[in-house]
Structure 1
Amino acid sequence: MQIFEIREAIAEAASAAVLPAGVGELTCTGYLPDSIYEPHFFVGEYDQEYDRTYGGVDRVEFTCRVLVGRADDLSAQKILDSLLSRHGAASLKTAIEAARGVPGAMALGGLAHDLRVMRVQAYRWYEHAGTKYVGAELVIEVIGDGA
């Protein structure tokens, strides 16, 4: 697996999430950005486990963040909750897991064997580049050929 390509493909998949009218568009990057235009999703840190199988399949856990501006703390958390929902037009889980493809096909446009959004964690206030946001982390598991 080529990690940077996987990160970019996850961000591209996340960009399919559709926010409610009047909220704006979700911006997405496959890397940790210097500054963001909110609401923003980015692929941050990752942990990689090599040779998970004898055939050389690797497992990577990506920690992604979604940050929402806090002009109004209640409305910001409603937007964040819609992004973290299991289903719906704004659901990041739904958008990202759509990149799994059809059964039997490779995920992320052929870059990996499979992926899944494992969990949401760390729902809290974040500071990024000197600005505070309400946000959360999504942990995404990707498995694929380590060659």
Structure 2
Amino acid sequence: MAEIREAIATAARAVVLPGGVGKLTCHGYTPDSITAPHFFAGEYSLEFDKAYGRGLDEAELTCRVLVGRADDVSAQRTLDALLAGAGAASLKQAIEAARGEPGEAALGGLADDFHVTRVQGYRWYEHQGTQYVGAELIIRIIGDGRS
């Protein structure tokens, strides 16, 4: 999962934020401290043996995006752009670009396929004592359980 989490963070770096916002920083793990706006891969659940002979495992990865709150309205507009289904700032679009072409393994061969399935928890988050507006993105990942 460590390589998959890092590959998803790398894909998220492709977003282009609205002018004046800065650059999205990304990590494949939960960092001690962040520079907002920030995306990171957090906790995950893993189901083994979804197919006979270790042929398929399924993971659900929870990622978070946190935006600074210098101005409540502009922070939420930035977050909304990151959570959109499409567009230059869309995390869904940027991350799913790493799925590859039909018939190719996803994330450079690390998974059979994955899909950003939903956004949840749009609210205020505290990270290392600082408040951010943020949300979670849930990614479903499937792959061969033998590797």
Tell me the TM-score normalised to structure 1 length: 0.97
1:49-128 map, 5 Å: 49-56=47-54, 57-128=56-127
| Structure 2: gaps of 5 or more residues | none
**Aligned-partner Cα distance in 2 for 1:55–1:65:** 33
How many Å apart are 1:111 and its aligned residue? 0.4
User: 1:84-133 deviations in whole A, cap 9, x for unaligned?
Assistant: 00000000000010000000000001100000000000000000000000
User: What's the counterpart of residue 27 of structure 2?
Assistant: 29
Provide the C-alpha distance between the structure 1 equivalents of 2:107 and 2:137, rounded to a whole number of angstroms. 17
CA offset digits 1:41-66 (Å, max 9, x no partner)? 00000000001111421000000000
CA distance, structure 1, for counterparts of residue 121 and residue 53 of structure 2: 34
Find the aligned partners of 1:51 and 1:14 in 2 and give their Cα distance.
29
Q: State TM-score, norm by structure 2.
A: 0.97
Per the TM alignment, residue 12 of structure 1 is displaced from its structure 2 partner at its CA by 0.4
Q: Alignment identity in percent?
A: 70
DSSP 3-state at the match of 1:52: strand
CA positional deviation for 1:29? 0.2
Q: Distance in 2 between matches of 1:55 and 1:19?
A: 44
| Residue in structure 2 matching 1:41, options 35, 39, 42 | 39
Name the SS of the counterpart of 1:104 in structure 2.
coil
Q: How large is the Cα RMSD of the aligned pairs?
A: 0.6
Deviates more, 1:50-59 or 1:77-86: 50-59
Paired residue total: 145
Q: CA deviation at 1:146?
A: 1.1
Q: Residue 51 of structure 1 aligns to a residue in which SS?
A: strand
Q: Return 5+ residue gaps in structure 1 as ranges.
A: none
Runs of 4+ off more than 4 Å: none
CA distance in 2, matches of 1:16, 1:142: 20
